[in-house]
Amino acid sequence: MFPQVTNSYTYEDCKATADWLLARTDVRPLIGIVCGSGLGGLAAMLKDQVAIHYKDIPNFPQSTVQGHAGRLVFGQLKGQPCVCMQGRFHLYEGYAIHKITLPMRIFKLLGVHTVMLTNAAGGLNQDFKVGDIMIMKDHINMPGFSGINPLTGPNDQRFGMRFPCMSDAYDRELRQLAVDVGQELGFGDFLKDGVYCALGGPSFETIAECWMMHKLGADAVGMSTVHEVIVARHCGMRVFALSLITNQAVMDYDSEEKANHEEVLQTGRQRAKQMEQLISSMVNRMDNNNNKI
């Protein structure tokens, strides 16, 4: 039986929040960036910043996770008007799924055309190493198998169609741009591509769960991103996403290794500069015509 979900945020609610934000900055963002655990430094690269704490934004939830600053930052990145989320929201924080994905609808009403998301993930692919950066080419929405989907409930056509396609969720041109830019920056040795599997968390995965996801075709596992991607695509925005492999999933019963959040943050700090370089260089290649390459 699917859970009963009521989207408590109407189009009018979302528009009121977007209008409130637009009244507080002259920036009219075309690109929206979501920073995952330990990766909030991307926002520091924005010029002429206007930063607003989540707690001050009408209808906005608050980030409760270590490594998430909880601010929305407007500014210019490589001459492109951007808005950057320093910290996102998760199912395991106790938020309803429509709250987790609210920022994507706000992005759309702010004028954003392209969403770029980052996350920290555990590596399931045995060829991946800690510190690798995975370009997401597809996802497995594990909570969705039990009816936990951000589009459950009444559909407002002003956001998007009732049954959006997800086979093209991750923009092919942007993925190729990431490969090209990564090669130019000398990141070829640690830049991968693969499939991300989303779980609800907050507990890390069991060994049996890791093997199951691996056999289903997942290369990395995490607790975010997929729900945001679904809503962003529902709203018609282009999507690009990166996973930083911050730990190797434990898949051996004889192993003494244990996943932990501090390891996630430490790897994020070590690789953050390269991720910032990659994303800023990609933004530099986009023009203002709907962010086409």
Catalytic residues: 37, 68, 90, 92-93, 120, 223-224, 247, 261
How crowded is residue 154: how many other Cβ atoms within 10 Å of its Cβ? 10
Tokens of 68: 């998430």
Phi, psi of 86 (to 5 degrees): -90, 85
Concatenating the DSSP letter of every residue in 146-185 gives GT--TT-S---TTT--SS---TT-S-HHHHHHHHHHHHHT
Contact 159, 84 (CB under 8 A): no
| Amino acid in position 63 | S
Q: What angle do CA 47, 234, 25 make, to 5 degrees?
A: 25
Which are the contacts of 270, defined by CB distance < 8 A and separation ≥ 6? 131
Strand-pairing partners, residue 135, are 193, 242
Contact 93, 64 (CB under 8 A): yes
